[in-house]
């Protein structure tokens, strides 16, 4: 079905599918798509991990099988280069509404009038955002003028400048990024691990420290990893010195380094085992005089009236926020009570309070007293506690994609319920587990017009089902997406170079 052109001129012919049918053959009716997806997940992969590409058609774009190249990396580990489709998309110019390229019908009418006043033809497009497992479908409106071929971007830029002179903010958009109908192309790397043949183990890595970002390849090299991909999202909106801090749960070598965002998806790793679930964390402190309080977070900036725990992996001084701190040794004995803003020495932890929780520290964390710190991570699907053994790692997911062999995109629970994250195409790093325990890691390159378009969240779910995942999640993507094999980055990061990230999934020999 074509995207509705509500107002405009014949020169604008934007064709796309409705949101429930985002890319050609992948966009069959939802019931048929779900049935096909379930069949792909359950019917095409019975082994722990793939030894070849699926024989079924590629789930995105025009009908047909993907082309692929296989390379054995180590016993039980295979790398596939997967390509499909061709470039037919070009550029358009989008007028901005409150800084965004989509808005309400009223905002779109006003923006369209401004473009007309600048002497340009204009169209208002109704864009249907697909409904996902925890967030209903919605509609947005885009205001666009002109269509240019892939080699004509400079002409589109001239229109942006013309609109700017008329007081209209606008930008050039590549139509392949929209998340609507496209022929591609797609360029992706897929790593499969068969735990029955592979003799190593899976781990999470944070690099130098929690606070500092490091490239996936650097973390892989230091750990001696056979392969690695970037991990979960990290906080780019905090203090500049702390922007390696994971957004959501992080467990490395059995130590909780970042608390969970309740209900968000996570990848649990232990030995050669991997599984996907949703998790909750609970951390508390009990003083020698019996006062028990909740610890609100781990290794992040404290809000007002919060109690934070900083571990030796933090890697920076604690924030100097006029709070109070209790420095604890490995057994929980209070070594020092001090104003906020000190180091976290090796072998210590720091309990950091702001506002009323600073008062709690001054009252209940006296020097030489003991403070008992209790940490619990709960699997929300089973209700069971996850033992934090030295072999246990947990990486926080960005959005759940596949659950029990069916598409199950949890955009709202994972904090990404908007058009940009659900519908638009971006580079993606994906992790999945097959029915028999094999691990699938995929990086879909994107933001490279004419070369590779990336994937929307719904498309990412279709890809993981096609690859045989019974459970799957989205990790961090965009410029963070990186896959490293034997010390080399094997995909093409969209920034043109590898980006420092908060954590990584490491496959050790």
Is 489 a domain residue? yes
Distance between CA atoms of residues 408 and 386, nearest Å: 23
Cross-strand bridge partners of residue 430? 442, 474
**Quick one: average pLDDT of 136-150?**
97
**Do 129 and 192 sit in the same domain of this protein?**
no
pLDDT tier at 223, thresholds 50, 70, 90: very high
Distance between CA atoms of residues 209 and 316, nearest Å: 8
Domain residue limits at 68: 44-88+182-225+236-259+413-436+451-509
Torsion (CA) 421, 423, 426, 429 in degrees, nearest 10: 70
Is 393 a domain residue? no
Q: What is the CA radius of gyration of the chain?
A: 25
**DSSP 8-class letter at 53:** -
In this model, does residue 5 exceed pLDDT 80?
no
**Do 312 and 425 sit in the same domain of this protein?**
no
**Do 344 and 467 sit in the same domain of this protein?**
no
End residue of a domain, out of 323, 345, 374: 374
Is 430 a domain residue? yes
**Do 114 and 196 sit in the same domain of this protein?**
no
**Do 204 and 313 sit in the same domain of this protein?**
no
Is 386 a domain residue? no
Contact, 458 vs 478, CB < 8 A? no
Distance between CA atoms of residues 62 and 65, nearest Å: 9
Task: Choose the weakest-confidence range: 42-56, 167-181, 225-239, 249-263.
Answer: 42-56
What's the confidence (pLDDT) of residue 26?
A: 36
Distance between CA atoms of residues 245 and 302, nearest Å: 13
Is 441 a domain residue? no
Is 11 a domain residue? yes
In this model, does residue 318 exceed pLDDT 90?
yes
**Phi and psi torsions of 146, nearest 5°:** 80, 155
pLDDT digits (tens, 9 = 90+) for 410-440: 999 888 888 888 999 999 999 999 999 999 9
Positive or negative, the Cα torsion across 423, 425, 235, 232?
A: positive
What's the confidence (pLDDT) of residue 49?
A: 60
**Do 93 and 159 sit in the same domain of this protein?**
yes
End residue of a domain, out of 350, 374, 398: 374
**Do 244 and 129 sit in the same domain of this protein?**
no
**Do 9 and 111 sit in the same domain of this protein?**
yes
For residue 111, the domain's CATH number is: 3.30.70
**Do 210 and 300 sit in the same domain of this protein?**
no
**Do 158 and 298 sit in the same domain of this protein?**
no
Positive or negative, the Cα torsion across 224, 273, 253, 396?
A: positive
Is 271 a domain residue? no
**Cα 264 vs. chain centroid, distance in angstroms?**
11
How many CA atoms, within 13 angstroms, populate the side-chain half-sphere of residue 109? 3
Is 388 a domain residue? no
In this model, does residue 32 exceed pLDDT 80?
no
Count up the domains in the chain and report the number. 3
**DSSP 8-class letter at 464:** H
pLDDT tier at 65, thresholds 50, 70, 90: very high
What's the confidence (pLDDT) of residue 190?
A: 99
What's the confidence (pLDDT) of residue 48?
A: 55
Residue, of 262 and 141, whose pLDDT is higher:
141
**Do 194 and 306 sit in the same domain of this protein?**
no
Distance between CA atoms of residues 213 and 476, nearest Å: 13
> pTM here?
0.90
Distance between CA atoms of residues 39 and 305, nearest Å: 51
**Phi and psi torsions of 443, nearest 5°:** -120, 120
| Distant-in-sequence, close-in-space partners of 449: CB < 8 Å, separation ≥ 6 | 87, 89, 91, 150, 174, 176
In this model, does residue 50 exceed pLDDT 90?
no
**Do 59 and 198 sit in the same domain of this protein?**
yes
In this model, does residue 358 exceed pLDDT 60?
yes
What's the confidence (pLDDT) of residue 15?
A: 35
pLDDT tier at 224, thresholds 50, 70, 90: very high
Task: For tokens 């490491």, name the residue.
Answer: 506
Largest CA distance in the chain: 79
In this model, does residue 25 exceed pLDDT 90?
no
């Amino acid at each position: 079905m074509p995207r509705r052109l509500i107002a405009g001129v014949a020169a604008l012919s934007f064709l796309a599918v409705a949101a429930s049918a985002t890319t050609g053959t992948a966009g069959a009716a939802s019931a048929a798509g779900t049935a096909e997806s379930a069949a792909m997940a359950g019917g095409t992969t019975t082994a722990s991990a793939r030894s070849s590409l699926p024989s079924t058609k590629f789930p995105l774009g025009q009908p047909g099988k993907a082309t692929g190249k296989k390379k054995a990396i180590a016993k039980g580990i295979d790398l596939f280069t997967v390509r499909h489709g061709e470039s037919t998309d070009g550029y358009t110019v989008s007028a901005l509404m409150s800084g965004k390229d989509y808005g309400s019908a009223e905002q779109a009418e006003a923006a369209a009038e401004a473009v007309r006043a600048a002497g340009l033809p204009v169209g208002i497009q109704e864009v249907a955002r697909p409904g996902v497992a925890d967030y209903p479908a919605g509609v947005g409106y885009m205001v666009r003028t002109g269509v240019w071929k892939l080699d004509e971007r400079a002409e589109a830029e001239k229109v942006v400048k013309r609109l700017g002179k008329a007081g209209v903010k606008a930008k050039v958009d590549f139509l392949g990024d929209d998340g609507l109908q496209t022929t591609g192309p797609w360029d992706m790397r897929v790593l499969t691990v068969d735990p029955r043949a592979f003799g190593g183990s899976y781990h999470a890595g944070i690099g130098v420290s929690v606070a500092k970002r490091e490239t996936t390849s650097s973390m892989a090299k230091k750990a001696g990893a056979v392969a690695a991909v970037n991990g979960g999202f990290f906080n780019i909106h905090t203090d500049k010195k702390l922007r390696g801090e994971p957004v959501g749960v992080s467990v490395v070598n059995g130590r909780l380094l970042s608390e969970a965002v309740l209900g968000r998806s996570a990848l649990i790793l232990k030995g050669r085992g991997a599984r996907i679930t949703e998790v909750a964390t609970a951390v508390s402190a009990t003083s020698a005089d019996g006062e028990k309080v909740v610890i609100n977070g781990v290794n992040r900036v404290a809000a007002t009236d919060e109690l934070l725990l900083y571990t030796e992996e933090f890697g920076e001084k604690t924030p100097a926020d006029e709070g109070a701190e209790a420095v604890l040794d490995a057994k929980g004995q209070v070594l020092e009570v001090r104003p906020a803003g000190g180091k976290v020495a090796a072998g210590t932890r720091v309990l950091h309070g702001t506002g009323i929780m600073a008062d709690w520290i001054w009252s209940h964390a006296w020097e030489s007293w003991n403070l008992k710190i209790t940490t619990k991570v709960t699997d929300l699907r089973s209700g069971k506690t996850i033992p934090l053994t030295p072999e246990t790692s947990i990486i926080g997911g960005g959005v759940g994609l596949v659950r029990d062999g069916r598409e199950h995109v949890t955009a709202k629970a994972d904090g990404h319920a908007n058009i940009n994250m659900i519908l638009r195409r971006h580079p993606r790093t994906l992790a999945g587990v097959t029915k028999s325990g094999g691990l699938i890691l995929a990086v879909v390159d994107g933001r490279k017009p004419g070369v590779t378009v990336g994937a929307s969240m719904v498309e990412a779910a279709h890809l993981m089902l096609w690859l045989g995942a019974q459970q799957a999640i989205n990790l961090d993507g965009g410029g963070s997406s990186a896959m490293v094999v034997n010390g080399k980055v094997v995909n093409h990061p969209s920034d043109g170079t590898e980006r420092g990230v908060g954590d990584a999934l490491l496959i050790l020999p």
